[in-house]
Amino acid sequence: MGVYILSEDIITYLEKLVLVKFNEDEKERVRVEINRIVDLFNLLKNMKELDIYEPLFHVHEISSPLRDDEVLDKLDEEYKMLKENAVLVQGYVKAPKTMVE
């Protein structure tokens, strides 16, 4: 396994990316994990004679567990009640605010 030097800039970038602040122990853990990931990619990059391996495939048929949509001729009562009582603004339903500015 190789040891790679990760600059503080990369760790700082990761902190900004995930919106957290790492303490020194966490920074060291991140460095170790990234080194392990880089080692794995280097191992994959250096593999030879991949032609001898069969490609991966799904052994089971994959199908969608979702049902087919059905067109309804009439609106159900709940939808009708919501439509009649909704507050519309320029044709759109006005929803309550979820964040305070």
Residue 91: DSSP 8-state = T
Band of the pLDDT at 25, cuts 50, 70, 90? very high
What is the mean pLDDT of the segment spanning 47-76?
76
Please report, rounded to a whole number, the percentage of residues in the chain having pLDDT higher than 70. 85
Min mean pLDDT across 24-28, 32-36, 65-69 is at 65-69
Cα distances from 24 to residues 15, 28, 88, 89, in angstroms, run: 12, 6, 53, 52
Band of the pLDDT at 9, cuts 50, 70, 90? confident
**Spatial distance between the Cα atoms of 14 and 18, rounded to a whole number of angstroms:** 6
